[in-house]
């Protein structure tokens, strides 16, 4: 008898809970339909001359400007030594086709969560050796 009552109470609790999500015009809420689209991306982030870019081992995305990308830019700026330094980050976001005609990026990432920002800039793949001019 106790098992039946426990099962009835448990099923009533489960069915009485409602997941009601409202969409706000200013911020896009995560719904059950686009949860699968949010993925984790690890790469180098750069904010140079107004362009926000996330570059990984096999992708390069333009980054959509919003509150989260502005926060990431501030965190990366605190780590950078010069304007062209790239900083390793781990973010979660949604990648979509870029509809902005003025942008050169085919795909754009909307960052939903900043998971990690490295404490120092990434190592440069190619270093240019500058030699002194001979007189």
Considering the chain, what percentage of its residues have pLDDT values greater than 70? 64
Predicted local distance difference test score (pLDDT) of residue 2: 57
pLDDT in tens, 67-93: 999 999 899 989 988 878 889 999 999
Average pLDDT on 103-128 reads 82
**15-44 confidence digits (pLDDT tens):** 555 443 333 333 444 444 455 578 999 999
| Whole-number Å distance between alpha carbons of 119 and 17 | 42
Report the alpha-carbon distance of residue 80 to residue 95 in Å, rounded. Answer: 26
Is the pLDDT score of 62 beyond 50? yes
Which pLDDT belongs to residue 19? 41
Question: How many other C-beta atoms lie within 10 A of the C-beta of residue 42?
Answer: 13
Q: Report the mean per-residue pLDDT for the chain.
A: 75
pLDDT, position 26: 36
The domains found in the chain, sorted by start residue, are: 34-121 (2.40.50.140)
């Amino acid at each position: 008898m106790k098992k039946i009552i426990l099962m009835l109470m448990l099923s009533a609790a489960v069915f009485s809970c409602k997941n009601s999500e409202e969409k706000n015009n200013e911020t896009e809420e995560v719904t059950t339909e686009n949860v699968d689209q949010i993925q984790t991306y690890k790469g180098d982030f750069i904010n140079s001359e107004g362009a926000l870019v996330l570059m990984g081992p096999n992708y390069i995305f333009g980054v959509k400007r919003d509150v989260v990308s502005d926060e990431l830019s501030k965190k990366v700026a605190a780590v950078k030594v010069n304007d062209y330094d790239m900083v390793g980050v781990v973010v979660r976001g949604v990648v979509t086709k870029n509809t902005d005609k003025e942008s050169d990026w085919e795909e754009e990432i909307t960052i939903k969560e900043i998971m990690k920002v490295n404490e120092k800039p990434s190592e440069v793949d190619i270093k240019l050796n500058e030699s002194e001019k001979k007189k």
